Amino acid sequence: MGDRPRRRLGRAGGRKVATNLQVVNYQKALREELTERLEYGGTVPMLGLALDLTIYYFRSTERGHPADVTNLNKSTEDALQGILFDNDRNNHKVTGEIIEQHPDVEHVGLIIVLENYEFDPDKHEALLDEMVQRKATAFENTDYQPPQEDYL
């Protein structure tokens, strides 16, 4: 390859990724609102715990396009990081539901439900056993036969 320097590409493959200003503004407004509520007697943050997080959305599309719940969840989770929990990678389960999303939504906002995740070995052991059993029987109920070709 000669003396040419190698160019390393980042996660975006060397492309610049534009910041979505709507997402940035949403996260900023959410952080400000939560910080203010916590300063004036809001609920205690659940820092350091593994959480199950449920978010219900009420969105107006009057000034924008409908959003999908996956992107809403990630934007909201990023905004809540450091305020309601230490790091979003510690969250055990994140679910979201768009209750209303159209131009005429009266009350725009969201409802956040935080629950401390508790590991239940009996429940999880039963689920694991069921998965193993399903995997073991998955091929018993088919007529699939692997090819009988000779390979060199």
**pTM for the full predicted model:** 0.63
Residue 139: per-residue pLDDT: 55
Whether residue 38 is contained in a domain is answered as: yes
Range of 110's domain? 21-138
* Angle (CA) 111 106 32, round 5°: 45
Q: What is the pLDDT of residues 66-120, one digit of tens each?
A: 889 999 999 999 998 888 888 888 888 899 999 999 999 887 788 887 788 777 7
Amino acid identity at 133: Q
Nearest Cα residue to 57 out of 115, 114, 112: 112
Q: What CATH number has the domain bearing residue 131?
A: 3.30.1330.70
Whether residue 64 is contained in a domain is answered as: yes
The edge-to-edge listing of strands for the beta sheet with 93-102 is 93-102, 51-60, 109-116
One-character DSSP codes across 1-52:
-TTPPPPP--TTTT------HHHHHHHHHHHHHHHHHHHTT-PPP-TTS-EE
Whether residue 119 is contained in a domain is answered as: yes
Residue 72: per-residue pLDDT: 92
Whether residue 149 is contained in a domain is answered as: no
How many structural domains are present in the chain? Answer: 1
Whether residue 148 is contained in a domain is answered as: no
Tokens 């199950």 -> residue: 52
Whether residue 145 is contained in a domain is answered as: no
pLDDT band at 3 (very low <50, low <70, confident <90, very high): low
